[in-house]
Amino acid sequence: MSMSQGRALVTGGAGFIGSHLCDRLLGDGYDVLCVDNYYSSTKDNITHLLDHPRFELLRHDVTFPLYVEVDEIYHLACPASPIHYQRDPVQTTKTAVHGSINMLGLAKRTGAKILLTSTSEVYGDPLVHPQTEDYWGNVNPIGPRACYDEGKRAAETLFFDYRRQHNLPIKVVRLFNTYGPRMHPHDGRVVSNFIVSALTEQPLTIYGDGSQTRSFCYVDDLVNGLIAMMNAPEDVIGPINLGNPGEFTIAELAEQVLQQIPSAAGIEHLPLPVDDPVRRQPDITRAKETLDWQPTIALADGLTRTIEYFRSVVI
């Protein structure tokens, strides 16, 4: 029996990205403790891991302290799509802030390295393009998205203060749009929306004229970035953008989905939501230079894999 690489805690481990990270860590030889309260995730994402000898599942809300022994903490727990984080905005802020305080306290006690998955939403509706890590953002602090945007900004503050005050080994990454199998079919995100609509012969809904842009990173590429960041030297603390710099308009994405799932229902246009960013594209120079990381999976290929998954759960 081979020696374990160590004990990794993944908060939000039953979520879309978290479950793929658990897969990868087990494959790399880690003992994995997956912690989730299933607020916006599902046990279905990790059912295939329940019999794995090095996998442990704990139902827990990170807004309460957690007492376990671990070597590394990947702190992903937080609802990340507007539908989920706006359903209970106070709880979203508590998860971002109290959850981070509790996980940082755990890291301090155990001496664990801790990585925060922050978000491109810290840039708000950006006034610089593409977004570099030294941009401070253009965020509405009292809008309907602020519970998430400001919650994650506060989480970053806490991580850096724990490093300054307690010399804690921290890592902060800012995730841009990520897609792939195990996305929630009704999370309100554009990739899942378009695929589910096309599969069910509903019109694809485009907000505004479809000229707003997004950058789409396939989940396997993103997980590679998380692992690279955790394994980087201790002085690499971030923040580092992780995302795909390929920029597509929403209209172009709709076209790509309809190429793979022909649908007669077409496209409908609705007004833009409040504070919805018009352009979003990561500058990943820092990730390339510091982590030797960049995405390798093209949008068309990633969509094919994602559509295959949605066919199995939607139809």
Query: Which residues have CB under 8 Å from 18's CB, separation 6+?
Result: 10, 11, 12, 34, 36, 41, 45, 74, 76, 77
At 159, is the secondary structure helix, strand, or coil?
helix
Residues in the chain: 315
Beta bridge partners of 118: 174
74, 123, 148, 162: the active-site residue: 148
Write the CA distances from 248 to 165, 188, 200, 281, integer angstroms.
41, 18, 24, 9
- Percent helix, percent strand, percent coil in the chain, to nearest 5: 40, 20, 40
Q: 201 exposed, middle or buried (CB, 10 Å; 0-12, 13-18, 19+)? A: exposed
What residue type is assigned to position 226 of the chain? L
Nearest by Cα to 308 from 177, 178, 179: 179
CA atoms 10, 16, 19, 23: torsion sign: negative
Catalytic status, residue 148: yes
Whole-angstrom CA distances from 178 to 18, 191, 271 are: 12, 9, 24
Closest CA to 220 of 8, 5, 12, 27: 27
Instruction: Return the active site residues.
Output: 148
